[in-house]
Amino acid sequence: MSANNEARGNDRAIGFSFEFFPPKKPEAEASWWRSVQALSAYSPEFVSVTYGAGATSQAPTYAAVKRLVDETDLVTASHLTVVKATSGEVDDVIRRFRDAGIRRFVALRGDPPGGIGTAYSPHPGGYSNAAALVSALKTIGDFDISVSAYPEKHPESADRTGDIAMLKAKADNGADRALTQFFFDNDVFEDYLNDVRRAGITIPVVPGIMPIQNIKQLKNFAARCGANVPAFVDSRFEGLDDDLPGQFEAAADLAAEQVLDLQRRGLSDFHFYTMNRSKLQIAVLDRLGIMPDDTQIGAAPERLRA
C-alpha cells in the first residue's frame, strides 16, 4: 500500500486488495478457488480472508489462507478476532498462522457472540478490543496489520468521536493501515477522513468498496452494519427487478464511478469486498482500465470520466 492517500501520479494508477471469505462447505471450495484464480490475474497488492468468532472458528480460515500461501503467489492476510477466546487461545492462533507463513493480519474485535445488535462484553481472560489485539500481534511478531474503520460510525459506538478514538488507539499500538466498512456516499467518507486526520491519525485509511451483487440483500446487510444506502444508489436499480444483466451493469458502473470520484479526491488505494464472486469485480476493474497482469492500463473509459 502507498504510504499515504495521495494520488500516485498523472496516470492515476491505483493500488487495490481483495477480500474473500473461506468456503465452509466442500461444494463451495471449487467456486471460491475459481474466483481466487480469476482475480489473482489482476495482481492485487494483497488478499484477505475473513474469520469467524472465536478460536474454535479458525479452521475454515486457516485452510483457506494455507492454500493461498502454498498454491499462489498472493500476499495473504488473515482476519483475526478476539471474540469467544482467551488471550492465550488467540496467541496460539497467531503463532499457528505465523508458522503457516502468514505475515499479515486484519485485526478485529469481532461481532458480539449473540450477533449484530446484541450487547458485547469481552471474553473473561481475553483481549478487550482490537487495539489490544494489535499490541498482542506486535509482541509476537513483526506483522503487517490492518484494522477496521467506520466512515458512518460503528453501530455500537456512541458517536464518531469515540469511534475515532478507538481507531487512534489501534494506530498508536502499531496498526499499519485501516480498511473501512463499505460505504456509498463519498462526501461522508471525505468528512470522516478529515476528522481522522485532525485527531492525529496518520496511517492510510483505505476505502472499502462493495460492488452490489444483489441490492435487496445489500440493503438488509447494510442496515445491520450501520451503513447507509443512499437514494441515488437505489435509483440506479429502479426498473431492473427482472433485468439481471441490467442490474449487473448498474452495479459495475456504480462501483467504478465511486472509485473514480475517490481518486479525484486524492485517494489511491482501495479494498474490494468480492463476496467470492469474480465476474462483477472483474467488470469493475475493466471499467477502471485495469487488465489482467497489469494494474493500470490507460485511462478509464470515456463514459465514466467526469
* Grid cell digits, residue 53: 468468532
Between CA 160 and CA 288, with CA 107 as vertex, the angle to 5 degrees is 80
Of 19, 89, 152, 257, which one is the catalytic site residue?
Answer: 19
Helix or strand or coil: residue 78?
Answer: strand
Q: Which residues face 210 on adjacent strands?
A: none
CA count, 13 A, side-chain hemisphere, 289: 17
Query: Kind of pairing, strands 144-149 and 104-107?
Result: parallel
Find, among 240, 186, 182, 169, the residue nearest to 211 by Cα: 182
Whether residue 19 lies in the annotated active site: yes
The beta strands (E) that lie in 57-103 are given as 76-80
Rounded to 5 degrees, φ, ψ at 30 are: -65, -40
* Catalytically annotated residues: 19
